[in-house]
Structure 1
């Protein structure tokens, strides 16, 4: 008989616990294949009961080769780092999220209860040989298994050497006891208090229960309790090559090639470099959570979180490439040289460059935090100007309006990081001088306006002094030619009272005069707003010509010039990604989202004229886009306290109205109620061609209103206003260097004069004739219910999710506080993009990075349909307070919110039939999917796994409630839904988020102060 060949066996840590004697093994990827049938007589079992406990100390800047620290075999380490093998059990340590330092301790404990192996007298059957041949991926077979307990505990000790010595002493006693298997070690109360000084404990084990433990004391008690029990959790597999069992087998997979130790180590070090780079950057990013700097530059930090996700994807591409290369080597295939795979590869260079830039930005954030602390000590208020949505042309006025404070004596120091570096002495002197001024005048308000992240580029450091502005205002008030008195004079020579003085009359009780501007796409709403502010600012054509026009909204239009009627594209204003306009898609609404433009009149600080610009309807993208635009409009105005006027902007001589124009009327009245009809006015643009009359549009409009049975909306001279936007376009064309002849200039002068008079008449009509339409939610309608519900779905779901987290955490007397924060620009979350994961109180939370959309997403290339609009972002804070005393109350609230969600969905889909989707259920399913993805990617996830179970149970409750409603044929009427809306809104956690949504709307308001020349 031929001599049996010598085979080299392999040891592999049992990271997949499902292996047994006879299981086939893919050594290329270090994963289990199918199990062979095996009879007990072919197995040998030895009871060992051998413990081993070791404590290792961490080192500062230690490379994160955790797998080597915990004695994972060499080849398997590489497979785990390449994610060829799933990191379960103790191998999950590679996801340890913190840098290693001198104050880390690793407690490694292994207790081998028994060993099982294949008998030498095994009977190899023909059936088994056939089965092996069908498994081309298998290279080895499990020939032996060690069973027992395998634990790694990573401890972060406090940075105090005295306490560290005490902790090390207790840990060493525990380790000695576990090695010697003595009687139970009794820890004194002092010992327990010492162990409680450990700041963080992470447990990794082949036993799922142990992963849930959060203290070293609990881990010790578990081990001590189980040490003499039969434990059948695999620790280590012993592998033999397939040919050891089947010498005659002959297929390519049996040729397994182990990498040389040198190459294996080199690849490991490279992968650890990639991993450490990502971990250190993420740790630095997460370090800013809940710190002073986060509240001030949150948008910039979230941008860096998105960059980290992009960097993570680059790393994934590198790993995928290396993964293929390693498999080729293990299969004895020729592959690229190692020099081409590592630092010289183009993917590595891109990764390294991006990582370096991100690290520099994070270092800048640390400097920024110190700057903010120093400014606070000098009594400055820090202002991140990027959150104010300033534009380049009139940033000073807008800044002063947005930072308006009751105290007149304000000084705003405007600068950025670049200017500070170039002018270190100057900025330090200015800060010191202003700080000294504050000492002498405690009423002085100092503001540091940081333009570092703004699109506005400062040429030099400057100080804006609002007291000087106010002095000018006082002088202006003394003049008899104030702008608003001119408005009144142009209307009536009999009245000596200015229009602004009439603001105190009974018809105007709020500080804001809100005018909603509606119209079809292309009618010129944004141009009208630009023109309107110029009509108020420049009372004469000569004034307008001799000054730069005010352009609140960028304008772009074609103008025919010259004798040959040549077309010329005219542009004016700030064209960048920060504006709300899109001129690149003709026929589509230029305005992307609703936005309010506030006009402050400088001789009265109490009243503001607010014109709300809206997306146009009749969009060439179709009725679905019109529906989205209308929903945006209705949701926006639903957050207002009142409306003074609803202005429909039209063109004269319209031959027919778009179908959606009729729907606009119907939905507005449904939302706002019949009283709003008295506040509807009509404005006509480009009316010079019809001699400043509505033209043929007038009769057409009356016919449409009559067909809708809303005759009480009047269309008369008093509520109809005719303008000519061409005179404003003339001003903009002058700025573009376009010349006009005398006849054209005469026409524009006349147009300007008429448009100024109409502007004054419009304001006066609103002041004198229209009562405020209060939007106090007393009017109940299906449309209002739909909008209220759509607003509440996210707050309801987020409240449920965080309350479920806190119910789970109450067992360890912890909790997480959820904080909503307003955003200053329209934003969406992308359902396709990966969220940014971060950990708080051992819970993994997915932070969705806000995306900005301008026809397409500016952050990712995913379809628009994959984006969901948001009105606020959420932050979370760790708390040592438990919710135990509120537990029943919180559970009841969760159940009530779940039932309300089901009732809202049932009403909108089955009763009102105005929604195709179950909004609450869709959001709940998204949350479950998001938690599942977190658990797939983050292995220390036992709390999140509990959360998933709770969410699934809640989904069952929702479905049962829906079935009850269907089975009982229970009709949920509008009054019932309205009561439910009121109940849900009253929950404090919901109310806070709804208030934040209103703050977001306020932040997106664009103020402009109208002052005299």
Structure 2
């Protein structure tokens, strides 16, 4: 529940760590500040606190400096050994304080090829995680000289009871086991929510900016709006729980305060069932974008039936037969194959879906006349499409619609 800062932001790193990942850590220790106190004689230097305090320790030493952590993903087209040799040369110079770092033109060219780098460090030095490695190496000398960018790296504390030899100062205390269990469950819940929100964010980033379908665009906008609501709710509940956890640890409030915050209806969108349902919606839209891209690559036009407005007819009054008649009128003079399908049918009959896809693609390739393939999506239509349906236009003398021979007829 503590907000990560500096190099501790490593816990936020969301890329895979594997054999092509390298960590380059550097810390510069500039100076120490200390209070020369000894056991039972601290009052000679620092007066005993006059007012009651819940503090149990005093900071007696601070180590100042700065630190940086570079996480480097080696590109697949680069030699791992060559990059490792470069990093070893840089490390040797840093360890021996050979500042500024010297790199030749070949090394500089290689460094410029390492574009997938994330940098964490003292906030006074590193302000952007995407700072280049060359920039970090160039600035080290300036950071060493500029005391204004130095921050505490290590604190040393001593117990007040030991320093002042006074029983009025309490020693560190342990929370009751029941309180610890409440805290543990709360922290597990927050981490669970954080991981789910993070996974959802990854999926959302893979969605297209917009769809050619108005219906899908509305779905995309709704999902983006709901995700922003989740992010705001997550930030709010995390801040509320952070403050409450501090009070629970100080025994200022009962552990029940944590449960009351979690049960608040303002955070209902973060409950497990809501997150799982939202994840299903995002996956469905992501799979839809993948499907549309596949159809596009195979030169198959995609039409979402829910976008169709024949004669401005109200969509809720339309039936599948209405849609079928409309398409037959629109494409009456064209060589077109219409493929009626839906996500449910594709999910339940994946093998059959793939078979139809291959058959229609092959059919188009083996005829001299140019045939247009159109995928008609009934996923969001109010009436359930029972079977895959193939409509070939122009129609023969006796109009026929070819339904999937492996299935029964469509129900009305």
TM norm. shorter chain > 0.5:
yes
Q: Where does residue 394 of structure 1 map in the other structure?
A: 318
CA apart distance, 1:177: 1.8
8 Å CA contact retained: 1:158, 1:198: yes
Distance change in 2, residues 1:150/1:183 (3 Å): closer
For 1:768-787, what aligned pairs fall within 5 Å after superposition? none
For 1:943-954, what aligned pairs fall within 5 Å after superposition? none
Question: Is 2:231 the partner of 1:308?
Answer: no
Distance change in 2, residues 1:430/1:333 (3 Å): same
> 1:806-835 CA distances to partner (integer Å, 9 max, x unpaired)?
xxxxxxxxxxxxxxxxxxxxxxxxxxxxxx
Of 365, 379, 389, which residue of structure 1 is paired with 2:299?
379
Distance change in 2, residues 1:429/1:231 (3 Å): closer
Q: Where does residue 345 of structure 2 map in the other structure?
A: 419
Higher relative contact order (CA 8 A, sep 6+): 2
CA distance in 1, matches of 2:64, 2:274: 45
CA apart distance, 1:245: 7.4
CA apart distance, 1:303: 3.3
CA distance in 1, matches of 2:250, 2:80: 49
> 1:57-83 CA distances to partner (integer Å, 9 max, x unpaired)?
xxxxxxxxxxxxxxxxxxxxx433xxx
CA apart distance, 1:181: 1.0
CA apart distance, 1:157: 3.1
Of 136, 160, 168, which residue of structure 2 is paired with 1:219?
136
Q: Where does residue 16 of structure 2 map in the other structure?
A: 100
For 1:36-51, what aligned pairs fall within 5 Å after superposition? none
For 1:665-704, what aligned pairs fall within 5 Å after superposition? none
Distance change in 2, residues 1:403/1:309 (3 Å): farther
Q: CA RMSD in A?
A: 4.9
8 Å CA contact retained: 2:332, 2:395: no
For 1:584-663, what aligned pairs fall within 5 Å after superposition? none
8 Å CA contact retained: 1:207, 1:233: no
- Look up the SS of the partner of 1:353 in the other structure: helix
Q: Where does residue 738 of structure 1 map in the other structure?
A: none
For 1:842-881, what aligned pairs fall within 5 Å after superposition? none
8 Å CA contact retained: 1:375, 1:381: yes
Q: Where does residue 410 of structure 2 map in the other structure?
A: none
Of 194, 205, 215, which residue of structure 2 is paired with 1:286?
205
CA apart distance, 1:149: 1.4
5+ residue gaps, structure 1: 1-77, 81-86, 473-1013
Question: Is 2:124 the partner of 1:201?
Answer: no
For 1:691-840, what aligned pairs fall within 5 Å after superposition? none
Of 54, 69, 72, which residue of structure 2 is paired with 1:155?
72
CA distance in 1, matches of 2:397, 2:29: 82
Distance change in 2, residues 1:107/1:362 (3 Å): farther
8 Å CA contact retained: 1:113, 1:231: no
Distance change in 2, residues 1:207/1:370 (3 Å): closer
8 Å CA contact retained: 2:331, 2:393: no
Of 325, 334, 356, which residue of structure 1 is paired with 2:276?
356
For 1:234-249, what aligned pairs fall within 5 Å after superposition? 234-236=151-153, 237-239=155-157
- Look up the SS of the partner of 1:111 in the other structure: strand
> 1:632-678 CA distances to partner (integer Å, 9 max, x unpaired)?
xxxxxxxxxxxxxxxxxxxxxxxxxxxxxxxxxxxxxxxxxxxxxxx
Q: Where does residue 82 of structure 2 map in the other structure?
A: 166
CA distance in 2, matches of 1:293, 1:458: 22
8 Å CA contact retained: 2:197, 2:231: yes
Of 24, 33, 36, which residue of structure 2 is paired with 1:116?
33
TM-score after normalising by structure 1: 0.32
Q: Where does residue 389 of structure 2 map in the other structure?
A: 462
CA apart distance, 1:209: 4.5
CA distance in 1, matches of 2:214, 2:76: 27
Distance change in 2, residues 1:375/1:154 (3 Å): same
Q: Where does residue 453 of structure 1 map in the other structure?
A: 380
Distance change in 2, residues 1:218/1:308 (3 Å): same
- Look up the SS of the partner of 1:327 in the other structure: helix
8 Å CA contact retained: 1:296, 1:382: no
8 Å CA contact retained: 2:331, 2:394: no
TM-score after normalising by structure 2: 0.70
CA distance in 1, matches of 2:271, 2:74: 33
Distance change in 2, residues 1:188/1:95 (3 Å): same
CA distance in 1, matches of 2:336, 2:385: 20
8 Å CA contact retained: 2:69, 2:119: yes
8 Å CA contact retained: 2:101, 2:138: no
Distance change in 2, residues 1:295/1:204 (3 Å): farther
8 Å CA contact retained: 2:302, 2:375: yes
CA apart distance, 1:471: 11
- Look up the SS of the partner of 1:101 in the other structure: coil
- Look up the SS of the partner of 1:196 in the other structure: helix
CA distance in 2, matches of 1:257, 1:422: 59
> 1:223-251 CA distances to partner (integer Å, 9 max, x unpaired)?
14444554552223444566677887979
- Look up the SS of the partner of 2:66 in the other structure: strand
**Equivalenced residues, count:** 380
CA distance in 2, matches of 1:294, 1:105: 43
Distance change in 2, residues 1:374/1:210 (3 Å): closer
